[in-house]
Structure 1
Amino acid sequence: MSETSETSTTTTVPEEAPSPHATTGATIELEHLTKRYPGSSDPAVDNVNMEIKAGEIVIFVGPSGCGKSTTLKMINRLIEPTSGRIRINGEDVTDIDPVRLRRKVGYAIQSSGLFPHMTVAQNIALVPKMTGWGKQKIKARVEEMLDLVGLDPGEFHGRYPRQLSGGQQQRVGVARALAADPPVLLMDEPFGAVDPITRDHLQDELIRLQHELHKTIVFVTHDFDEAIKLGDRIAVLRERSHIAQFDTPEAILTNPADDFVSGFVGAGAALKRLNLTRVRDVEMADVPTVTVDDPLQTIFDKLRASGTNELLLLDKRRRPYKWLRRGDLMRAKGSLARAGTLVHDTVTRDATLRDALEAVLTDNAGRVAVTGRRGEYTGVVDMETLMNSVQEMLEADRLEAMEHQHELEEQRAQLTHQEQEGHAGEAKA
């Protein structure tokens, strides 16, 4: 069985409805955590010690079979530790009832694990219903969670999992894991079974959710680029979950601990740093916008007044719809139905600069529209902005390397001076 295979029977079980004030993250401490399976000479997980701060995203990354998923599952005791301790917010949970523990821990897995015979609403409401919540409270919570993960409650409430795309199923899986407002969310390669474009969007959605919720998230992946994009800190794990390096993405990229970690970083560390900067962190350009409800003459007048050669046409919900150039308007003949070029790709404010660069490179005009939570237009990122950001990163790397080299030279000089003083002392003696 693969590390990520799991049934959906491990749904979080809350004790009571969330309070009006959402629960934020909890600290997690792993002390000498070990797992031995009968008949195996070596432990699957060996003496792991780790402290995870409240409200941060920590990524476990390592080769297949290194024990990262086993370590994750011991946190909520889906796999029982052989020895060691687990503390959540200071409480030793190693010896308490596992069901009680899982009331504090959300769990999301690959392929969502939704019950196929239940609707979306029933999947999300399952645990609140089991714990005796009232119907109105359950209904309100389901709507709140669907809205939180960007799914229209009216549209998705009554659907079955088979009627959803892979990305939509994963969103519902996350909504179910968060339904009880747990302080801790465990995610075991949750986006591994979807296509790359959907995966990027789900990653952006998780980043957005974390900005709102501030949960403690422990996330397993084999994809180092995903780890850089999502993690506040990354634990690079060797066999038996031995920690090769546990640090920020920036520190691992610029100063990998050894050759094993360097192998995970791979080539192009400077470009990988594009995954550390979000679109919201750079200055966005703006282009004149019009809507599908504007009269054609108004659109002509706005283009003429703007002094540019291009407008962005927004739909009724102010989402990017078409790029309109002067020539397109001249050929419109009273209708925009066939005029312009459809907007095929956008990025969110939480997308990384790497996401934006990929989108810009596939666009003939070298720009991409940026959208907010509901897909509404917020600005444009172009090639010039991205290239300036890359240059700033490269310059920062160069200065950091020079500073590090200067520190090494000072240390060598100090050691040489101490050795010389020692020899001088011996000579006098």
Structure 2
Amino acid sequence: MAESHGASIELENLTKRYPGSAQPAVDSVNMEIGAGETVIFVGPSGCGKSTTLKMINRLIEPTGGRIRIGGEDVTDIDAVKLRRKVGYAIQSAGLFPHMTVAQNIALVPKMLGWPKARIRARVEELLDLVGLDPGEFHGRYPRALSGGQQQRVGVARALAADPPVLLMDEPFGAVDPITRDHLQDELIRLQRELHKTIVFVTHDFDEAIKLGDRIAVLRERSHIAQFDTPEAILTNPADDFVSGFVGAGAALKRLNLTRVRDVEMGDYPTVTLDTPLQEIFNRLRGSGTNEILLLDKRGRPYKWLRRGDLMRARGSLARAGTLVHDTVTRDATLRDALEAVLTDNAGRVAVTGRRGEFIGVVDMETLMNSVHELLEADRLEAMEHQHELQEARADRTHAEQEGEEGEQKA
């Protein structure tokens, strides 16, 4: 694994009181976040999770307590300088509408006095990193971008000066579910490459499970109900409050912990627009499948072609087949893949790489086997837990009996 480029964060008795309020908005939060770790704050509306996040870069000034980043106490240093060292991404991207994409991304490096050539190279590097073609998006204005594209630019801007810490306040909350899934996958991929320390606020527990190395489930005033790995919270919630967040179907939620890259992908016959029809027939006949995947010029999934489609093609693939509407990336969760498969009657989904290129196919059988394995693991764990409870009860009964016998002898 590459060396971490993040920085540790320590919150010590971090508190925020607003004038006129009987109770603090945030009350003595203590937390240690490791360098390169992704930590998710999740909790009910008004519990103080966004306030806690904003105190880390002092967009909201703490009333009490300390903040250390990389061991340095940042509570008393210049707040503006601190914010230039901490990336910040919010819901709806928060881009400046009168600035181009490139100007938005270049904002902090420009403030830091970077040379123009370095800024230009950094903007191109970041656009490529978040999956946007620099040549196509460099000069566009935010109004000409989709919601998902705006969020990508927002993440690029937050990363522009290469900060060790990235704060994200419900950054994907305003986009549609499909775009949100893709943005989450993109963040997972970016984190595997960059190893930043990410603190991420969400109200969506499924998003927390998917993204977090650890999750802090927060009560009112940001009191920590449980701070643990997604696996531990799903299998051993600390109390009824945490159980309420986990909700029903913990085994299915655990599908958010397994990535498509962790399961076996099927090798699938593919052809391109330049492949002669006869060769397509031959490949289909020799593949043992009833369909073949047509790729576009960039190697991306384009159409599913069945034998009947080819019979009707009459020498041209232009009108043949069914367009590929949904794909998943290698970083998508098995839950994402299951949803994609269920929306397609053919029972499979194409898996793509960083630039959308075709990698393989995941089918319903593979996904169902994974679900059964998770359910079986949950069943065995529940049996083991029940056995431990029975043993503890038996030991307690035995001790009570021995105590009673001792009293009778006395």
**TM-score normalized by the length of structure 1:** 0.93
Q: CA deviation at 1:103?
A: 3.0
Q: 1:344 — aligned with what? A: 325
**Residue 72 in structure 1 maps to residue 53 in structure 2:** yes
**Residue 148 in structure 1 maps to residue 133 in structure 2:** no
Deviations 1:107-148, CA, capped at 9 Å, x for gaps: 000111111111111111111112221111111100000000
Q: 1:327 — aligned with what? A: 308
Instruction: Say whether the 8 Å CA contact 1:292–1:314 is kept in structure 2.
Output: yes
Q: CA deviation at 1:23?
A: 6.6
Q: CA deviation at 1:374?
A: 0.4
Instruction: Give identity over the alignment, percent.
Output: 89
Q: CA deviation at 1:425?
A: 4.2
| 1:171 counterpart letter in structure 2 | R
After TM superposition, list the pairs within 5 Å mapping 1:19-418 onto structure 2. Answer: 24-418=5-399
Tell me, in whole angstroms, the C-alpha distance in 2 between the residues paired with 1:77 and 1:344: 43
Tell me, in whole angstroms, the C-alpha distance in 2 between the residues paired with 1:239 and 1:161: 36
Tell me, in whole angstroms, the C-alpha distance in 1 between the residues paired with 2:288 and 2:205: 44
Instruction: Say whether the 8 Å CA contact 1:22–1:181 is kept in structure 2.
Output: no
Deviations 1:309-347, CA, capped at 9 Å, x for gaps: 211000010000011111111111111111111111111
- Cα separation, partners in 2 of 1:168 and 1:381, compared to 1, 3 Å: same
Tell me, in whole angstroms, the C-alpha distance in 1 between the residues paired with 2:6 and 2:380: 36
Moved more, 76-85 or 405-414: 405-414
Instruction: Say whether the 8 Å CA contact 2:105–2:123 is kept in structure 1.
Output: yes
| 1:239 counterpart letter in structure 2 | E
Instruction: Say whether the 8 Å CA contact 2:11–2:30 is kept in structure 1.
Output: yes
| 1:312 counterpart letter in structure 2 | L
Tell me, in whole angstroms, the C-alpha distance in 2 between the residues paired with 1:97 and 1:171: 29
| 1:331 counterpart letter in structure 2 | R
Secondary structure of residue in 1 paired with 2:198: strand
Tell me, in whole angstroms, the C-alpha distance in 2 between the residues paired with 1:103 and 1:22: 23
Instruction: Say whether the 8 Å CA contact 1:35–1:44 is kept in structure 2.
Output: yes
Q: 1:10 — aligned with what? A: none
- Cα separation, partners in 2 of 1:426 and 1:103, compared to 1, 3 Å: farther
Moved more, 77-86 or 263-272: 263-272
| 1:91 counterpart letter in structure 2 | E
- Cα separation, partners in 2 of 1:425 and 1:92, compared to 1, 3 Å: farther
Tell me, in whole angstroms, the C-alpha distance in 1 between the residues paired with 2:228 and 2:251: 17
Tell me, in whole angstroms, the C-alpha distance in 2 between the residues paired with 1:105 and 1:51: 17
Q: CA deviation at 1:404?
A: 1.4
| 2:115 counterpart letter in structure 1 | G
Instruction: Say whether the 8 Å CA contact 2:84–2:108 is kept in structure 1.
Output: no
**TM-score normalized by the length of structure 2:** 0.97
Tell me, in whole angstroms, the C-alpha distance in 2 between the residues paired with 1:130 and 1:47: 34
Instruction: Say whether the 8 Å CA contact 1:68–1:237 is kept in structure 2.
Output: yes
Q: CA deviation at 1:405?
A: 1.6
Secondary structure of residue in 2 paired with 1:99: helix
Tell me, in whole angstroms, the C-alpha distance in 1 between the residues paired with 2:112 and 2:163: 15
Tell me, in whole angstroms, the C-alpha distance in 2 between the residues paired with 1:357 and 1:263: 24
| 1:303 counterpart letter in structure 2 | L
Tell me, in whole angstroms, the C-alpha distance in 1 between the residues paired with 2:23 and 2:134: 49
- Cα separation, partners in 2 of 1:350 and 1:381, compared to 1, 3 Å: same
Secondary structure of residue in 2 paired with 1:121: helix
| 1:215 counterpart letter in structure 2 | K
Tell me, in whole angstroms, the C-alpha distance in 2 between the residues paired with 1:336 and 1:53: 53
Tell me, in whole angstroms, the C-alpha distance in 2 between the residues paired with 1:27 and 1:418: 47
Secondary structure of residue in 1 paired with 2:313: coil
Moved more, 391-400 or 261-270: 261-270
Tell me, in whole angstroms, the C-alpha distance in 1 between the residues paired with 2:377 and 2:275: 46
Instruction: Say whether the 8 Å CA contact 1:23–1:183 is kept in structure 2.
Output: no
Say how many residue pairs are matched: 409
Tell me, in whole angstroms, the C-alpha distance in 2 between the residues paired with 1:133 and 1:46: 39
Instruction: Say whether the 8 Å CA contact 1:23–1:182 is kept in structure 2.
Output: no
| 1:90 counterpart letter in structure 2 | G
| 1:364 counterpart letter in structure 2 | N
Q: CA deviation at 1:39?
A: 0.8
